[in-house]
Structure 1
């Protein structure tokens, strides 16, 4: 409580009033019509919200309005999430706007969340239903309006990244009454024809009302039953539609969808060049290794002439060794022969005869070695060193 006897300054009064207002009014929603809209150089927005009976000053700071994907205009019916405050310097009562949307969007968001929860419960968003996007599609289908800027973005990106890929457009309105059914029909037509490897469903950015056709159940179910892999590229990066959740892949923009469906030609060529250079280096290294190995083998390999020379040298060595062996063998045999000859010479009876002895034989050739072999009157033959003689035995001793 303020002491009634206390004299307040204007600044104190305004500060106390601001604190009272901010604590008494939590964050709340308010609806009204925009008037006196001013966009300051600082980026802040200043305007009034009014209805038939009153108006209130508002400010939306740049840190908040930067998140809006649409720009309000004079006379727009809006719904704002705000807090009550007081601008102390002038004592102006005002609202600080935290979020701003077009009037009626609350119902749209409610419908959006309800359908999203229903389809999620049915399993339409489940990962096991997702189909992989082919890495190198030969033909790409696009479901969109022929006049849409999104189509030009997609085609430009495809020509830049992979000009050889074929494109089939399945034209359909993407905005307005009845567009959801036509979009679903175009998706079913692409699926039935089965002439594409991947299907892009796209449109450019816009308000939630502009994108609402892609939040319709008929479009979600058409995407779900499509046997072609589907990429949803609706609106800007911050926009999320039911189609995004059902599709096999969500692309933040149509341009990003084109990038997802095609490899970058320049990147492929660069990768191919890198592989070629790596292969060339590998081949060069292999050839150098084989060349070095060949040099090593060639140093070990002898020519036929060198081999013949080695054989001749070996043969000469064998001949020399054989000759030496034969010579040694002949020498040993000669020595043995001499020894035998000496032994024979010693045993030769004629050698004994040469010393004056005689060999006595009976006439029948019997060698007489014992006198008992003889009797007086026997005729014997005497063999001398030179010649022989006959004799008669007259007497014999013992």
Structure 2
């Protein structure tokens, strides 16, 4: 189903979509509008299902995305992915319609990074991208029917043979001009730049192919050279780069007007084919087959999800039996508790309805009178004991008690107590207080205490 929803034109919408239809439309939009992308990240939540499909998430410090790699693609991975591995995947974005979840359908996976070379690759890529050398606005369209095709590569390379074979098969009437150069080694970048410059100066072709066969990142490093990238960007001819295999990417790929996955594919892109209609039908059949395979893979994914969620009927019945038994126990306990509460309430009501007994009331009243009298006597005795104790303590510290034991208190003329004989003066009038009364006297002699 094709449905188009335009902002601000809700009145023109022909029908209301179901959730399934909406998800199908969004999935189609994603698959048609977003080309295959290469994504790097850290693996998490890795699950290898019994069906052979792989389910995992790719994450970085700021985000994560769910991924699926179907069995047919996963068996070509040359290592076992584990939690925390940093990987690079080639994938296309889609929507898992059953749950409405955005995910990546992974076509290929490899370990991320290749040491210092890979770091230099990323730094140069970022710098040239900021300069605008990768912008789509500067890309030029290829000629529909080129008068001549130029090829920059090594004369001994297998890539040249593949290109010539493909061009001879597809367009034998179009002449091919080869601009020989080294494609590997320390001198290769300068020679590649010179070959592109010769093609640009001579103008004896309408489109230029820069090709090389596959290899390691070190083998392809000449095409990550900044000089080569700037020469491709400055070339007045449309440039198609076909270096390495489908999963290999170089700086030259990003700068070129068109990137081909292989040298053969580069030749196919520039050479028209009289059998293109037949091949177009074949491509449609392949797309249909791929769509069917994707539908089958999605069905398998749904089956995997359902298998993980579905439990055997026997386990469900056992759970229900346990729940019924637990409910029966709770019901029985609640019934017993309710009976006990009602029985206690009836007993309390019965006790309140019985006639009071006067003899028991008189006995309780007499007991209370005896307890009250005893408590009063005990309280009076306790308070008397406290008064006696306080009086005895007061008598111990009273000056009168000291005088009663025969001591006297002598005060001077100014009324201060004389505690030291050295403080008295001869002839001074003093007052002597005894236990009973006092005596006025005069000091006739002072005898200080001898050491």
Q: Shared fold (TM-score greater than 0.5)? A: no
Using the size of structure 2 for normalisation, the TM-score is 0.39
Q: Which has the higher contact order (CA 8 A, sep 6+)?
A: 1
Using the size of structure 1 for normalisation, the TM-score is 0.43
